[in-house]
A and B are shown apart, each in its own frame.
Chain A
Amino acid sequence: MLDDMDRRILRHWQADAGLSPGELAERTGISAGKVARRIVRMQEAGIVAGVGAIVDWAALGYAVEVSLRITLDKTQGNAFDAFLEAARQVAEVIEIQTFLGRVDVRLSIIARDMAHYQAIYRGKILTLPHIADIEALMHVARIKSNEALPL
């Protein structure tokens, strides 16, 4: 289990994932050797999964982002598996989540503009198997996006 020192390291690292172990040592006031050992231990324990670059799709020309909340036809035994397998093949789908609640699945879709979105929606989404209902939420702005855990 984690102690206060681990948490302190993670809090600073979460706030700025680009920090090196040396910089983390400086910010946390913990010795560099200790920080390095703690990081290795947390990686080995599967607590730290890695550091990834954040890709800004809008800067890449994908100005439109839509959340599609989908209800599946659960009378079909394989509805979930068949739907998810097909949704993974759609290049513009960047996120797939499944839920317990009013909605079964949510897809995040990116598109260059509304015409492109329309083409994806008609050609690649409505053709996915076992859809009973779809609701769309159009993304306007990201107010908070750091996905930090309250450690």
Chain B
Amino acid sequence: MTPLDEIDHRLIRSLARDATQSAGALGRHLGLSQPATWRRIKRLEEAGILRGKHLRLNREALGFGVTVFLGVKLATKGRVSLEDFERAVSAIPEVQTVEHVLGLYDYRLRVVARDLADFERVLRRRIMTLPGAGAVEANVLLSEERLPGPLGL
């Protein structure tokens, strides 16, 4: 693939903010024709750089008042396969993300709950009973910001 240019970077940033914009509208903004914009978007999609779309919902407005990040250490490495743990943890609806990490913990989970009592229920009934789950550390999310990253700076 030929290297990305400044226009590609602006296109990625713009679509990350709002992916519902048409190629025509984006093109007018970037000084490109509609077909040229469309071709660039296609190329970014084919390269796997634009990897689908994400619906942003307001958690609080939907009644999910608590987000907790859990660091989970596996207790019985070797005896329980990572795949078993990953399959079981991914199936929990309240678990929004599962990341395999290296360091103090083996996995990092993002968990949503209606309130702290609801979180306790998820933790006791679903997380602590996972195959191989050992030490768990919880940090309650207070604020979160996503930044545009190193493109086009």
Task: Identify which of B55, B89, B95, B150 contacts A92 (C-beta below 8 A).
Answer: B150
Interface residues of B in 102-137 (CB under 8 A from A): 102-105, 107-108, 110, 112, 137
Bitwise, A39-63 to B at CB < 8 A (1) or not (0) is: 0000001111111111111011010
CA gap between A108 and B132 in the complex, in Å: 27
**A92→B96 contact, CB < 8 A:** no
**A139→B150 contact, CB < 8 A:** no
Chain B contacts of A60 at CB under 8 A? 4, 12, 49, 151
Interface centre among A55, A95, A143 (most CB of B within 10 A): A143
A51-B53 contact, Cβ under 8 Å, with A95-B144, A96-B144 = yes
> Which partner residue on chain A sits nearest B144 by CB separation?
A97
Task: Identify which of B93, B112, B139 contacts A101 (C-beta below 8 A).
Answer: B139
Interface size class of B (residues with CB under 8 A): 35 or more
- Cβ distance A88 to chain B, nearest Cβ, rounded Å: 7
CA gap between A60 and B50 in the complex, in Å: 10
Interface residues of B in 1-34 (CB under 8 A from A): 4, 12, 15-20
Interface residues of A in 99-149 (CB under 8 A from B): 99-103, 106, 110, 135-149
**B18→A52 contact, CB < 8 A:** yes
Is A94 on the interface with B (CB-CB < 8 A)? yes
**A149→B57 contact, CB < 8 A:** yes
Interface size class of A (residues with CB under 8 A): 35 or more
Chain B contacts of A54 at CB under 8 A? 16, 50-54
CA gap between A96 and B144 in the complex, in Å: 6
**A99→B141 contact, CB < 8 A:** yes
Chain A contacts of B100 at CB under 8 A? 139-143
Which residues of A come within 8 Å of B, CB atoms?
A: 2, 10, 13-14, 17-18, 45-57, 59-60, 62, 67, 88, 91-103, 106, 110, 135-151
Which residues of B come within 8 Å of A, CB atoms?
A: 4, 12, 15-20, 47-59, 61-62, 64, 69, 71, 86, 89-90, 93-105, 107-108, 110, 112, 137-151, 153
Query: Given contacts A59-B49, A137-B71, could you give 9 more A-B pairs where the C-beta distance is less than 8 Å?
Result: A48-B55, A51-B20, A51-B56, A52-B54, A101-B139, A138-B102, A149-B59, A149-B96, A151-B62
